[in-house]
Structure 1
């Protein structure tokens, strides 16, 4: 994945340091104003992103008081800086969200020039609309809170619903971890591969996988009762999966119930192997996946901390992708061109 850094036009100079040109290393370029701050949700990803950029993380004092309140303070000035606060949406989601808001507020009150919230896994992304009356649109509320705290930009990865980009009154850089996942699948050299969309809503994403891997597409028709959380009923499989290695693709895996039921249905339909790939491996109840022998392998990114319970997981890093995006923002480059470059590299 580190070769993706070369997709950022400003990402590498003669000094060969990702994120910096020679002028930047001499403190005479826009990157001199870059400050990267990490919350406590995913320190490994923060360190990897900082390493890809060739910068250090700002020393930050973050504590939780005895009564549960969170305290944040920076040990260095951020006045006039381009600050990027990295905090992903993982358990405990609410604590992480409040911590993100406090870090952003600290930056604003310390006179940071620009503040970007880097949330690889956007919190509350599945609550993007009202299924019934008297429900909140939580994803919109999160965007409002981030804006109110003082952020003027959001960088995120593979939103559950793309319309969330419109909830924030400012730039939203919507990145994708799919190229990193596809690159890993290509390295497996599977000949009899079929891409499987777990529902009708994911067909567009599955089409991308199908095109990049030159593999046929199958669709699972399922029904979810919005009144009963995490309850999915499988119906029919559209497409031939007999004697095929099936790759089920989705944006996230949470309880794993959908994936487990899909794997069982695919094996019953004659699939010889079931692999799953998703950007966000949340695994809130990994016991369901552990007990499902029909799932042979799972591939996820490190948008959230890796599961230590489910051992059939391969994790690929999105740290270089985040570093590229941050570099493009600071140097006023093009995120779209960067993503196009990343996509083209997958074809090679």
Structure 2
């Protein structure tokens, strides 16, 4: 049954521009002003997080927009403390909108005596009073099962499909989708199906974490406009090396579509100097000035999709409808027309 209250948004400090963009889109959809709840999320001198909300939220359906990106621990604590503040202020329901779920790469024990930190973070989120999570492109789909509360996992591939069809409309028959590793084949196949393109794989072998020893291309990429699809770009080492290997195997050009642009350390410099013609990321993580100013990095917005997903959750309607191209295209009308 739809809620009788209005959806209310509150943001931590992780990505306020995205939160403001979501509020703006929700205002457009509803025909009435939707703003961010007036609050302060600050640090004491010893860096403890302090939250104070200046508006009445009693009985309200609250949505906290807060990716747990770098600094992951600070942003995670902000999320938990905002949730605790809302629960103690008698909010009727608290939903965490986490565009980028930090610690997702620690989703299993890869060797003895290591943690499964993604499960620990899921427990912390549920215990803080959050009743539902809305996120995008979890590093591993099974992370949804780490939560004992409902999790809606949105996908960037429908947005990427719209972008590819717009920017490659004159040469779609030359496009080939590339998975940068065997584990990402399902994600790459999803985009390939949406744009009706063939699929190839770059198989990589690591000597140790962060270093790739060898790469092999599985498939014929000669003369193709290759599009690498992945969920996270951290230091961009693997991505740039994959682009080089594809060019060495006869690719005409290489582009990359990555959901979460972590872009740490030398990432921007590597991408700027690489053979990649373009890197497309979403704004799930607030881009830094170097990322925004890089000539071959482009950012696509997620606010239209998150705004509609929040409205669907609030209204008790389907979120999975946003996986469909026909549902999503009107939300991005004007951008890809």
Structure 1 length-normalised TM: 0.87
3-state DSSP class of the match of 1:32?
coil
Match of 2:135 in 1: 156
- Residue from 49, 55, 60 that aligns with 1:76: 55
Query: Matches of 1:284 and 1:37 in 2, distance apart?
Result: 27
- The gaps in structure 1 that reach 5 residues or longer are 1-28
Match of 2:18 in 1: 45
Match of 2:333 in 1: none
The reply to whether residue 301 of structure 1 matches residue 282 of structure 2 is yes
Q: Are 1:194 and 1:241, in contact at CA under 8 Å, matched by a contact in 2?
A: yes
Query: Matches of 2:302 and 2:42 in 1, distance apart?
Result: 27
- Shift of residue 185 of structure 1? 1.2
Match of 1:35 in 2: 8
Match of 1:26 in 2: none
Q: State which drifts further: 96-105 or 292-301.
A: 292-301
Matches within 5 A, 1:134-149: 134-149=113-128
3-state DSSP class of the match of 2:281?
strand
Match of 1:193 in 2: 175
Match of 1:280 in 2: 260
- Shift of residue 344 of structure 1? 7.5
Query: Matches of 2:329 and 2:100 in 1, distance apart?
Result: 24
3-state DSSP class of the match of 2:324?
helix
Q: RCO higher in 1 or 2 (8 Å CA, sep ≥ 6)?
A: 1
Match of 1:331 in 2: 315
- The gaps in structure 2 that reach 5 residues or longer are 28-33, 331-336
The reply to whether residue 289 of structure 1 matches residue 270 of structure 2 is yes
Query: Matches of 1:35 and 1:205 in 2, distance apart?
Result: 32
Instruction: Give the 3 Å change call, closer, same or farther, for CA 163–94 of structure 1 in structure 2.
Output: same
Query: Matches of 1:278 and 1:132 in 2, distance apart?
Result: 28
Query: Matches of 2:327 and 2:181 in 1, distance apart?
Result: 24
Query: Matches of 1:75 and 1:343 in 2, distance apart?
Result: 36
**Could you list the runs of 4 or more consecutive aligned residues of structure 1 that deviate by over 4 angstroms after TM superposition?**
341-346
Matches within 5 A, 1:158-307: 158-188=137-167, 189=169, 190-191=171-172, 192-225=174-207, 228-285=208-265, 286-287=267-268, 289-290=270-271, 292-307=273-288
Give the CA RMSD over aligned residues. Answer: 1.9
- Shift of residue 257 of structure 1? 0.9
Q: State which drifts further: 216-225 or 335-344.
A: 335-344
Q: Are 1:179 and 1:342, in contact at CA under 8 Å, matched by a contact in 2?
A: no
- Shift of residue 132 of structure 1? 0.9
Query: Matches of 1:173 and 1:166 in 2, distance apart?
Result: 11
3-state DSSP class of the match of 2:260?
strand
Instruction: Give the 3 Å change call, closer, same or farther, for CA 332–287 of structure 1 in structure 2.
Output: closer
Query: Matches of 1:265 and 1:116 in 2, distance apart?
Result: 43
Q: State which drifts further: 114-123 or 185-194.
A: 185-194
Q: Are 1:274 and 1:297, in contact at CA under 8 Å, matched by a contact in 2?
A: yes
Structure 2 length-normalised TM: 0.90
Q: Are 1:281 and 1:306, in contact at CA under 8 Å, matched by a contact in 2?
A: yes
Query: Matches of 2:55 and 2:328 in 1, distance apart?
Result: 40
Query: Matches of 1:116 and 1:98 in 2, distance apart?
Result: 16
Q: Are 2:260 and 2:282, in contact at CA under 8 Å, matched by a contact in 1?
A: yes
3-state DSSP class of the match of 1:267?
helix
Match of 1:4 in 2: none
3-state DSSP class of the match of 1:116?
strand
Q: State which drifts further: 80-89 or 281-290.
A: 281-290
Match of 2:306 in 1: 322
Q: Are 1:104 and 1:115, in contact at CA under 8 Å, matched by a contact in 2?
A: yes
